[in-house]
Amino acid sequence: MKFGGTSMAGTERIRRVANIVRRQAADGNQVAVVVSAMAGETDRLVNFCREANALYDPAEYDVVVASGEQVTSGLLALTLQSVGCKARSWLGWQLPVRTIEAHAKARIDDIDGDALVSAMEAGEIAVIPGFQGVSDDGRITTLGRGGSDTSAVAVAAAIGADRCDIYTDVDGVYTTDPRIVARARKLKAVTYEEMLELASVGAKVLQTRSVGLAMKEGVRVQVLSSFVDDDATPADEYPGTMIVSEEEMNELVEKGEMERQHVTGIAHDKNEAKIILTRVPDKPGAVAHIFDPLAKAAINVDMIIQNVGRDKGETDVTFTVPMADLARAQALLEDKRGDIGFNRIITDSHIAKISVVGVGMKSHAGVAATMFRSLADRGINIQAITTSEIKVSVMIDEDETELAVRVLHTAYGLDAPDNPAD
């Protein structure tokens, strides 16, 4: 069981969580619980780091931001004890959760599940702070924002759990962010492949890496709400959204429990920025000169457009980078101006990426055309386009994000009916 920040925000909410956990244990389940920091706490800690030193050392940043989950894991263990359960916390370095790669965006390499399994077999509930691990040289690491989802899936894999229930503040995965579209529909199931794509284009309900890991390790994941009444459907009857394989999805469709749509979901991302380099020489190697230094600096480039060469053998190259890396990318490119040979560098962080995702589009033409036509009808200008087998993304002005998501949700027939029969 994993509980996100909103579920852990304060001792009252932690008491509700303890009751949900206690019920699972009382039903005869052995339970490990992964927790996030209280809502807003990680942001607060990140700000402290920025104030202390704008160019902070990521290793010390990890020391600071990992503390949020330490607090909630101890508090949940205490609360569970207060309602009569045996429970203890297991910090990242105690298990240990071994991680590799960079501080602040570490990856889990391996979790030793033995101690957890023994404790659980002895009837103790294991409480594990999400988001944190330990590096080879014994220092605290964190997994990148939203990383507790990945901690939960990794713990589930390490102990061979029957299921990984991700409790959050919405009752499942919806056709789009239900905070933007009131008529978004809850999905009974979504495939790993689609969830991976949705998460990677901005649906923050699950961290992208958690979905990749669940797919690789075959972990059964359910997304569900912790804000439920005592008489709500128990988690074992799948009140939330199950992440399933394509075979399972086909079975659900055959049984009439799921409908096949061309588009399964829509996501948006406001955290990217656009860079345009004007008058780049239109010759072999020019683009490599631009992207080599960015790759070396571990800056992820997403959408790329190179216009057809204009006269004089020159062209413009446009691409996006994460907003957080914009300043660094700009400085690197300025530095390489001589090698690249561009005229001007124009940046814009006032953009958003809107993506429509669905395995149904593999075998159906016209999904992209519907997107372009619907946006055009509302006067929304498309600045760039990228596609994959199961996704179409467009870049638009950030101010038009919500409108675009709503328009597309309607255009693909995803809106819930006016009076849902319940």
For position 42 contacting ligand ASP by CB under 6 A, the verdict is yes
Question: Which entry of ligand ASP, ligand ADP, Mg ion, none binds 73, CB below 5 to 8 A by partner kind?
Answer: none
Stretch that binds ligand ADP, among 134-142, 202-210, 249-257, 289-297 (CB under 6 A): 202-210
Q: What is the DSSP string of 168-194?
A: ESSSS-BSS-TTT-TT--B-SEEEHHH
Strands (DSSP E) found in 236-328: 241-244, 265-269, 272-281, 304-306, 314-322
269 Cβ contact partners less than 8 Å away, ≥ 6 residues apart: 201, 202, 352, 353, 355
Which residues are 361's β-sheet partners? none
Is 168 a binding residue for ligand ADP by CB under 6 A? The answer is yes
Residue 170 interacts with ligand ADP (CB under 6 A)? yes
Nearer to ligand ADP, 351 or 357 (CB): 357
Of ligand ASP, ligand ADP, Mg ion, none, which one sits near residue 24, judging by CB under 5 to 8 A according to partner kind? none
148 counts as binding ligand ASP under rule CB under 6 A: yes
Beta-carbon count within 10 A of 275 CB: 21
Looking at 92, 113, 129, 130, which residue binds ligand ASP (CB under 6 A)? 130
Tell me the residue nearest to ligand ADP as measured from the CB: 4
Cβ-based nearer residue to ligand ASP, 132 or 264: 132
With the C-alpha atoms ordered 343, 344, 345, 348, is the resulting torsion angle positive or negative? negative
Q: Count CA atoms within 13 Å of residue 262 on its CB side.
A: 16
Tell me which H or E stretch contains 65.
Answer: helix 58-65
- For ligand ADP, the closer of residues 124 and 177 by Cβ is 177
Burial of 15 (0-12, 13-18, 19+ CB in 10 A): middle
Using CB distances below 5 to 8 A depending on partner kind, what does residue 176 bind out of Mg ion, ligand ASP, ligand ADP, none? Answer: ligand ADP
Q: How far is the CB of 351 from ligand ADP (least distance, A)?
A: 19
Q: Are 277 and 360 in contact (CB under 8 A)?
A: no
The yes or no reply on residue 129 touching Mg ion (CB under 5 A) is: no
Kindly state whether residue 202 participates in binding ligand ASP, applying the rule CB under 6 A: no
Amino acid (one-letter) located at 120:
M
240 binds, among ligand ADP, Mg ion, ligand ASP, none (CB under 5 to 8 A by kind): none
Say whether residue 146 binds Mg ion (CB under 5 A): yes
* Residues in 356-385 that interact with ligand ASP by CB under 6 A: none
- The answer to whether residue 177 forms part of the interface with ligand ADP (CB under 6 A) is yes
State the Rg of the chain over Cα.
23
Give the residues lining the site for ligand ASP (CB under 6 A).
4-5, 36-37, 42, 68, 130-131, 145-149
